[in-house]
Amino acid sequence: MKILTVLTYYRPHTSGLTIYAERLARAFAKRGHQVTVMTTQYDPSLPREEMLDGIKVIRVPVMARVSKGVLAPTFGWVATRLALTHDVVQMHLPQFDAPGVAFRARLFGKPAVLTYHCDVQLPQGLFNRLVNFVLDFQNNMAGLLASHIVTYTQDYADNSRYLSRYASKLTPILPPVELPNPEPGAVAAFAETNLVHERKPVIGMAARFASEKGVEVLLDAMPAILQKYPKAQVLFAGTYQNVMGEQAYSDRLMPRIREYEIQGNWKFLGNLDPVQMAAYYPNLDVITVPSLNSTEAFGLVQIEAMMNGVPSVPSALPGVRQPVKMHNMGVVSEIGNSSSLASAILEVLDHKEKYRGNPEFIKEVYDPDSIAQEYEKLFEKLMRKK
């Protein structure tokens, strides 16, 4: 099968969406499919074409940037050429160019499948409202033109204003999740470098330092947690400096966080690569995902943690609450409620054996090869209809 995957950003850009797309594309290629990734040359130093892990990557030059998106004038021409020579076209939304790509696929009689990752809610401001309006319009046009839509969970679909419009052509498929095995001694070395001596328990949070991630909810929960566990330590993995559009948010929270840093109760780790994350998770007692809105649709870090036997405490957002409910590895807290988050974290810390779960089973469920097979079934069904 010749599969064309289209998205705005691909390697070496790092985000939940690009990691999902990369894992799935690699799984397709390993299963013998011919995979082409069409994306943008967001960094002029990147090659226009290259082979990565058996995948042909084609990058379209960028003329200008608009908010987090890009303008690439030749995107449509390249999409026309590639859609004509592939059996199925898969797009990752949100994506400004998706309607044009979906139209070309349908015009040439090829299935056009959207993978919808999350809603987009940009920070407040007149310009961002305009960008949101345009992106919502483009996403809706793509939804109308698509042959089928994939999302992570039915829970998220039922509560998404966008996805509920297309219930008749919607299939939930769990996301592909994998981690490398840590190098011998890496877990202990990570602890030696990053844990304050005898600081236990360890609470993990892996995210961008952004307002929708609910960092302040965890911050407000800290006094109650420290009352019972005075030596508790938060290890925050992810970008925390100069996050686009989040400077005011950072300025407001950092003075309080600095106090916890001085006391040894909080540490920023910065961005960690997959090998480093594989050493990070085993050092945690619990991970939390206190996100506040539907830009978070699942929280892949929960599954990565659970694969290492680490339970999770997410907020009760649709989709985000599902991993804990499905695998009984944690407790769901109320959205934006720091008291509820503290209580849930303390419940898990007090009864860790109760929430240990089955990491090996979870690895099998989210194995990229298994997820690729689910997509194959969908692609073949759509191609038979044609």
The predicted-structure confidence for 318-376, as pLDDT tens digits, reads as follows 999 999 999 999 999 999 999 999 999 999 999 999 999 999 999 999 999 999 999 99
**What pairing do the DSSP bridges indicate for beta strands 34-41 and 55-61?**
parallel
- Looking at 12-21, 25-34, 215-224, which range is the least confident one? 12-21
Contacts 24+ apart (CB under 8 A), 223-229: 224/338, 224/339, 224/342, 224/343, 224/346, 225/342, 225/345, 225/346, 226/265, 228/346, 229/200, 229/201, 229/349
For residue 360, what are its two tokens? 């090996």
Q: Could you tell me where the beta strands, DSSP code E, fall in 119-219?
A: 148-151, 170-172, 202-206
Output the pTM of the full model: 0.88
Domain ranges of the chain: 2-176+367-385, 186-365
Range 2-176+367-385 classified under CATH 3.40.50.2000: yes
The predicted-structure confidence for 241-294, as pLDDT tens digits, reads as follows 888 678 889 999 999 999 999 999 999 999 998 999 999 999 999 999 999 998
The predicted-structure confidence for 215-246, as pLDDT tens digits, reads as follows 999 999 999 999 999 999 999 999 898 886 78
| Whether pLDDT at 2 is above 90 | yes
Percent of the chain residues past pLDDT 90, beyond the cut: 77
Q: What is the mean pLDDT of residues 11-26?
A: 90
Asked whether this chain's domains 2-176+367-385 and 186-365 adopt the same fold, the reply is yes
- Looking at 47-51, 230-234, 295-299, which range is the least confident one? 295-299
Among 274, 313, 302, which Cα is nearest to 366's? 302
| Whether pLDDT at 7 is above 70 | yes
Note the pLDDT of residue 122: 60
Per CATH, the architecture of 186-365 is what?
Answer: 3-Layer(aba) Sandwich (3.40)
